[in-house]
Amino acid sequence: MTVMEIAALPAVVHIREVGPRDGLQNEPVILSTAQKVKLIDLLSATGLQAIEVGAFVRPQQVPQMADTEAVFAGITRRPGVVYSAIAPNVIGARRAIAAGADVVQVFLSASESHNRSNVNMSIEQSLAQVAEMAALVHGAGKPFDAVLSVAFGCPFEGDVPVERVLDLCQRLLDLGAEQLTLGDTTGMAHPLLVQEVVRAFRARFPRQPLRLHLHSARGAGLANLLAGLQLGVDLFDSSIGGIGGCPFAPGAPGNLCTEDVVHLLHEMGINTGLNLPALMATARELERMLGHEVPGQTIKAGICKHLRDREPAL
């Protein structure tokens, strides 16, 4: 690894909100359908252009996602907002299409152990499923995006070779994925590693958009986001309140918190198009729904600009 590279930061960053799926799936409290619909409608009003509504998985595996069809049916869709869903297999893809997901997201792990833990299939078996899903989704006139999990390290196998990550990205693109997301599923990345992987990705796929899905399980989430920004990455996932994680991997809690990410970007002069006070109000409503505090820090500390604008005490 080399020293960190610092290039011109992007002027605009686009956030995909994953709280309703990746956030809630790891919560012991299962929200009602009405609560999930309210949460997504609140998020839709903040300026977000992409929201991950839920996952079409077996209810016995992820009971928090058992009502995803009903959630899709209940939300108020805003023009310009992409409402996506995760599907682990062909059955899930059919359900996602029938429910009206704008984009179907498929996922694959960069390690055999995590892939088997996640979907009980080898990587090759998953790729065969992805090929079937791609044909189904494209046949329905919808795009599919691919998420490559544990791209920066696996909790079962340790380091993941960068070449393996790139080769799997190539195979997903060959199957028709429109967008690729590299996931730091259990928070094993650090800034130098993020830049190593991003540089390698850009060298191999110079015209392919790249999204990063980072976690803060070990406190490095925002540092890793900055590392990506410094190489021009302008697509990121985050979760309202910072809730969530992967239920199929040890040590996985700690999604990047949407309000914290947006606050940092705004402080750096980077536009997100998002209403930060509205996001903070949504995070507080989520706390009331869950019955506990969320990990996010900005709703506790406040917006720096507001603090600066206060009149000095006499």
pLDDT band at 246 (very low <50, low <70, confident <90, very high): low
Catalytic residue among 154, 246, 257, 304: 246
**Cα–Cα dist 76/200, whole Å:** 40
- Mean pLDDT on 285-297: 96
**Cα–Cα dist 149/18, whole Å:** 15
- pLDDT for the residue 217: 84
> Could you read off the pLDDT of 2-42 as tens digits, one per residue?
666 666 899 999 999 999 999 999 899 999 999 999 999 99
- pLDDT for the residue 251: 47
- pLDDT for the residue 247: 54
Q: CA–CA distance from 21 to each of 17, 39, 165 (Å)?
A: 9, 11, 24
> Could you read off the pLDDT of 149-189 as tens digits, one per residue?
999 999 999 999 999 999 999 999 999 999 999 999 989 99
For domain 14-309, which architecture applies? Answer: Alpha-Beta Barrel (3.20)
pLDDT of 252 strictly over 50? no
pLDDT band at 200 (very low <50, low <70, confident <90, very high): very high
- pLDDT for the residue 108: 97
- Residue 146 near residue 107, CB atoms below 8 Å: yes
* Number of other CB atoms surrounding residue 287 within 10 Å: 16
- Residue that wins the pLDDT comparison between 311 and 158: 158
pLDDT of 143 strictly over 90? yes
Percentage of the chain lying above the pLDDT 90 cut: 88
Check if 246 is active-site.
yes
- Residue 31 near residue 39, CB atoms below 8 Å: yes
pLDDT of 314 strictly over 70? no
- pLDDT for the residue 309: 74
- pLDDT for the residue 118: 86
**Cα–Cα dist 124/160, whole Å:** 17
> Could you read off the pLDDT of 48-69 as tens digits, one per residue?
999 999 999 999 989 999 999 9
Single-letter residue type at 84? S
Closest CA to 197 of 186, 207, 211: 211
Helical residues (DSSP H) of the chain, grouped into ranges:
33-44, 68-74, 90-99, 112-119, 123-139, 162-174, 191-204, 221-229, 258-267, 276-290, 298-301, 304-309
pLDDT of 250 strictly over 70? no
